[in-house]
Amino acid sequence: MTNNQSTKGLSRIDGRLKVTGAARYSAEFAPAGMVYGVLVGSTITKGTIKSIDSKAAERAPGVLSVITHQNCPRIAGYQVEPGKKEPEKGTYKLFYNNKILFNGQPIAIVIADTFERALYAASLVKAQYNAAEHNTRLIDQKHEAFAPEGDGTSKRGEADAWKTAPFKLEQEYIIPSEVHSPMELHAIIAKWDAADRLTVWTKTQGVQDTRDGIASIFKLPRENIQVNSKFVGGAFGSALQVWPHEVAAIVAAKLVKRPVKLVLGRADMFTSVGYRPHTWQKIGIGATADGKLVGITHEAIGQTSAYEDFNEGPIGVSRATYACANVNTLYKLSALDIGSPTWMRGPGEATGAFALESALDELSYQLNIDPVELRIINHADTDPESGKPFSSKYLKEAYKLGADAIGWSDRKTKPGATAQNGWLVGYGMGGGMFGAYRDKAAARVVMKDDGTLLIQTAVSDIGPGTGTMIVTIASEEMGLPAEKIKFDLGDSSLPLAPSQGGSGTTATVGSAVYQACTDLKENFQKLAGNGGTDKPDYAAILKRNNLQKLEVTSTTNGGPERDKYAMYAWSVHFVKVLVHPATGVVKIDKAVCVADCGHVVSPKTARSQLIGGAIGGIGMALMEEVVIDHRYGRLVNNNFADYHVPVNADIPQIEAIFVNKPDPYINPMGAKGMAEIALIGMAPAVANAVYNATGKRVRELPITPDKLLGKDGAMES
């Protein structure tokens, strides 16, 4: 599908619900007797709680309870088995002891009959601490970084072979911490239906994974827990696990014997639901005069919390993206007094691609070879890691589509050679890759005698248009108009579905729906007998057989093709920037994003997905940065006034292009995921364009005016 086709396809089936306010998100339910919880956070970064005074809060109007580590009911899953030692590291245990591990750590929850009363009472909770020396600065802890589980190293061919190349460079690249910043705040309503039965409405990317996480923490049978998440207002990885605020609400509901609603404030979203980790990287890369890569060495150190090792793995892209015989990588973690990072859109690959794609661009100037041509010279025809053939790969075609659309032929090799209305003009590009995954899933399809089809699966929809994709598959397979199909999702009691993450939903859940529809059609053909046709009248067949409905549940999983082929999706981003020489302001003038992601099932929502990821990459490049006052270990820009994300004025019209050639092996639709590749590679594309415009190479994101201007206020080169 090319861009002139991108408006074709089914419109969002839930679009009207969302724009009219009829869609109900997790915080919008109201079970009878519901009360409200508000968390109290630590004001120090490391140490212990000496005492907590909650008496004033407890006496405040409407307050039902105040829970701290001193009176928290026993949480079964937190307890250490007799005879075993407390593990040194693990997931954070809420209200477990008096230790403070990061600034803003929840030390209490106040429950009251209104939100306003709970908020006021929370301000009355006072704590005294024994503060300890803390460290929240990655650069200070680099020397103490350690390898994650395993040795953290990988070597293919000769180590540091890049040093022997006639053309080479070694540079450091840094990205700051970035937060997910979804519109919808994290929220949960917890309701105990019996002593061992629980219902929750919560923001999650996977209702069944959340159910299983709660079951593990509270030692409940999975079948006794009902998790609902019908609509999710963005997540980007922030809702892939059970967080402490969810545990707090569940504990509080049990204690006060009423449903408890807890909604995080925007500031809490910066400390309580993960983020992309601050990461230092160093790349050594070398090539021959004709552009063939001789070697790549990629080192990285990523921050993690002191209590849990989070392994993002940014170095994988250097092993798998280009044909290079000699690649060695080293990844380490730096434990800081912060909350744990987590997966964020394009996890690992987005981080690593900034370093790799920037270094490759730098090398292209040394070689005097066009950046696109350099990538084509080093195109991997088979998987560099495994040697397996790719299930499909049309990256060279994507390069051409993107270059033609951006006007790459207008790019000047010499930086700063082009101006437009007083602004410097630059062109840049960057590539992205991400594994194409297919997991186990099930779907139930029910054809009713009124001619309508019901599809049920537990998958969540965090915004990409999952329901639209599912209905499109069913409509095409069953030969039914979309208005005759209803999709039921976000309910843990429905058939199996994994969390929505890793760009695997279409391949995984879509395959189950496709198979269920195929099986249902076969059953109808048996019912119809000799009267079966390619387009059966389902309602008539049911009535003829005195049936009110016909139902099928099918389960699918990836097959042996996973062992035979390397499966990836690819992207390439092209950017034209304007840079003001006097102020250092960077404007995105044009962006073209090309995805090689197999068959595009739902063109409209896929286009939105590709554009949305690109906008996230622009934010990563130009503005997103968590700032910590390291004297106190406290975030200073934990709000949307000071933590900048792109707004409409920052974004031009982005052209989304799809190669749209089916993958013959991954699933029946031939579709591969594209949510991650929509972002991966965009940040280096912007950085490379800025260099082409100015001659200034920025290797530490975000690219802000101060990094482009010299001490005298003039543009540096």
Catalytic positions, written as ranges: 676
What are the structure tokens assigned to 4, written together? 């002139």
Q: Is the dihedral of CA 177, 310, 77, 197 positive or negative?
A: positive
Rounded CA gap, 586 and 589, in Å?
Answer: 9
Q: Crossing angle for the helix pair 603-622 and 682-694, nearest 10 degrees? A: 50
* Distance of alpha carbon 658 from alpha carbon 670, whole angstroms: 14
Residue 163 and residue 286 in contact, taking contact as beta carbons nearer than 8 Å: yes
Tallying the residues shown for the chain, one arrives at: 717
Residues 159/328, Cβ–Cβ less than 8 Å: yes
- How many Cα atoms sit within 13 Å of 639 on the Cβ side? 3
Q: Which pair of structure tokens corresponds to residue 341?
A: 């990072």
What's the N-to-C CA distance of the chain in angstroms?
41
The SS3 of residue 334 is strand
Cα four-point dihedral sign 557, 562, 564, 568: positive
Closest-CA residue to 432 (of 470, 375, 391): 375
Nearest to 375 by CA among 460, 287, 440, 455: 287
Tell me the three-class secondary structure of 368-404, residue by residue. Answer: CCCHHHHHHHCECCECCCCCCEECCCCHHHHHHHHHH
CA 374 to chain centre: 30
- The one-letter amino acid code at 131 reads A
Looking at residue 346, the DSSP 8-state letter turns out to be S
Q: What type of residue sits at position 174?
A: I
